[in-house]
Amino acid sequence: MLRLQIPEQLVSDLNLAAERILSFHSTIRIFSHHDADGISAASILAKALIREDREFHLSIVGGITDDITEWISKERDELVVFLDMGSGDMERLSSLDASIIVLDHHTPKEPSENVLEINAHRYGMEGTREASGSSMAFLLALAINPRNSNLAHLSLVGSTGDRQHVGGFSGLNAKIADMGEKEGAVSSKKGLNLRNSPLIHALTRSYDPFIRGLSGREEKVRQLLDKLKIDGGKKPSELDEEEERRLGSLLILKLLKQGCRPDMVDELITTRYFIPSLGMYVSEMADYMEATSKRDAGTGVAMGIGDEEAMYRAKEMEEEYSEELMKALMTLEKNGAREMEHIQWFWSYSGEVASAQAGIGMQYLLDQEKPVFCLTELEDGRMKISARGTRYLVSKGLDLAEVCSAASKFGGSGGGHNIASGCTIPADRRKEFLRTADEMVGRQIRK
C-alpha cells in the first residue's frame, strides 16, 4: 500500500473499508456504474473478493435510483459498496439502514457521517484526471490484499475508459502504471495510437483519432497507404521506424488541418500500455469494456475477472459497437453541430453511442472554442444530454458538472465532471435548458 505513496488519511480510510469487508461474513452487495470505468472497477473488486473466497452480489447500473435504494432496504443488505458513483447521492445513501462504502472520483457534494465515502477529490487528487473509479477500486483491492497489485492493468483500463490517459497518466494513475510495469501486469512503449490490427483495418476503424475523410473509408485508406508505399497488411507494431515516421507525419498533418488542438495531435504518437497476459493493449480492452457497457455489462465483468470466452464475446460486441459509432461520427462529420453563442449542440439518433459521439466529435470534428451538447430523445418523453468540453476550455473556466446540475431547475437531474457531464430533462424543456447552458458557459469562460 505504502509503496504507492498516497496520503495517510486515504490509507487509513481504505484500511477501514477493507476491514469492514473482510470482517463481514454474508453476501456483500456491490453496485457499479455502467461504463468502461465502472465495469473495470467492478471486475477489480470482484476478483479481489473471489481471491478471499467471499460472497458478493454485483449489479451494473446507470445511477442510484429509488428502485435501488428500495431494493437495498427490502433485501436488508447490510454491507453495500458503490463503485464509480455515490458521491452525488450522499443524502439519499445516508438515510439507508446499512453499512455503506462509496468509492468515487466524481465531483463530491456534502459528505455524510453515515457513509464511508472514499472520493479521490477529498484527498487532494484531481478526480477528473488523476484517478478513476477503477483506480479507487484498485486501492481498495490492495488494502484487502497486497497480492492484488497484479490487477493494475484493470485500473488503467478503467482510467482509459474515462479518458484519463490523454496527455499521459498523471497523479495516482501514473503511480499505478509504474506499479503495473514493475509487477509485469503491463509494459509500455511509444508508438502510433492505432489498434493493433492490419493497417487497412486499423485506419478504417480508427475513431480515436478520427481522421476526416479517412476514418470509415477503406478505399481512401488503401489509396493513402499505396501512396506512402506501406503494406496495408502490416500491423502498426510491425512497421519499421521509417514507415512509422512517414505514416505518423502524414496523419499529424491531417489532424492539424482538420482543426485539432495540438495536445490532441500529440496523442497520435503516445505511450501505449500493453497487457502481456492478455496480448492486447490497455486502450483496446477499454474499448471492449465500453462496448460491453452498452450491450451486456456482465460480459465485461467476466472478461475483467479473466474469462477467456467472455473476451471473445466482448471483441464481437466491440466490432458491432465501433461500426455503429463510426456511422454516427461520419454523420457528425458531414452535418456538424448547431452553434449558439457559447455552446454548440446536435441530435444523436443512437442512444448507445451518443456520449462517445459527443466526446470524440468534440476532440476531432467540432469548433474547439465551444463545448458540445449531444441530445438524444428517450422513449419516455425525457431527453438525455451528454456534454463534452476540452482541457483547453476547462483551463478557461468551463465546468460542465455545474451546467448539467442545472437540469434540476427543469425537472431533471445531472452532474459529472468539469470536462464531461450529463443530464436528463423532460424533452419539452430542451430549449430552456440549452439557453441556460449557453448563458452559464458564457459566464464560466468569461471569468
DSSP bridge pairs for 191: 270
> Which C-beta is closer to Mn ion: that of 84 or that of 208?
84
> Which C-beta is closer to Mn ion: that of 162 or that of 243?
162
CB of 445 to Mn ion, least distance (A): 25
CA distance 113 to 324: 45
CB of 420 to Mn ion, least distance (A): 10
CB of 159 to Mn ion, least distance (A): 8
CA distance 364 to 336: 11
- The strand order across the sheet containing 269-275 reads 187-192, 269-275, 280-281
Determine how many CB atoms are found less than 10 A away from the CB of residue 27: 14
CB of 260 to Mn ion, least distance (A): 25
> Which C-beta is closer to Mn ion: that of 36 or that of 343?
36
CA distance 125 to 187: 25
Strand runs (DSSP E) across 248-337, as ranges? 269-275, 280-281
In the bound state, the residue with its beta carbon closest to Mn ion is 37
> Which C-beta is closer to Mn ion: that of 132 or that of 148?
132
Which residues make Cβ contacts (< 8 Å) with residue 375, sequence separation at least 6?
345, 346, 347, 348, 383, 384, 385, 430
Contact 405, 411 (CB under 8 A): no
> Which C-beta is closer to Mn ion: that of 122 or that of 212?
122
CB of 359 to Mn ion, least distance (A): 13
CB of 270 to Mn ion, least distance (A): 21
- The candidate with the shortest Cα–Cα distance to 205, out of 232, 231, 230, 227, is 232
> Which spans of this chain sit near Mn ion (rule: CB under 5 A)?
37, 84, 132-133, 162
Number of residues written out for the chain: 447
CA distance 161 to 132: 9
Beta strands at 382-388 and 420-426: parallel, antiparallel or unpaired: antiparallel
CB of 360 to Mn ion, least distance (A): 17
End-to-end CA distance of the chain: 41
> Which C-beta is closer to Mn ion: that of 132 or that of 424?
132
> Which C-beta is closer to Mn ion: that of 37 or that of 130?
37
> Which C-beta is closer to Mn ion: that of 149 or that of 421?
421
CB of 39 to Mn ion, least distance (A): 10
- The strand order across the sheet containing 56-61 reads 56-61, 28-33, 79-83, 99-104, 115-119
CA distance 287 to 282: 9
> Which C-beta is closer to Mn ion: that of 103 or that of 302?
103
Residue tagged 488541418 (cell numbers)? 257
> Which C-beta is closer to Mn ion: that of 40 or that of 196?
40
> Which C-beta is closer to Mn ion: that of 81 or that of 337?
81
Contact 4, 179 (CB under 8 A): yes
CB of 84 to Mn ion, least distance (A): 4
CB of 258 to Mn ion, least distance (A): 29
Strand runs (DSSP E) across 160-292, as ranges? 187-192, 269-275, 280-281
- The candidate with the shortest Cα–Cα distance to 294, out of 321, 315, 312, is 321
Q: Compute, in degrees rounded to 10, the torsion defined by CA atoms 229, 191, 286, 288.
A: 30
CB of 328 to Mn ion, least distance (A): 22
CA distance 63 to 378: 16
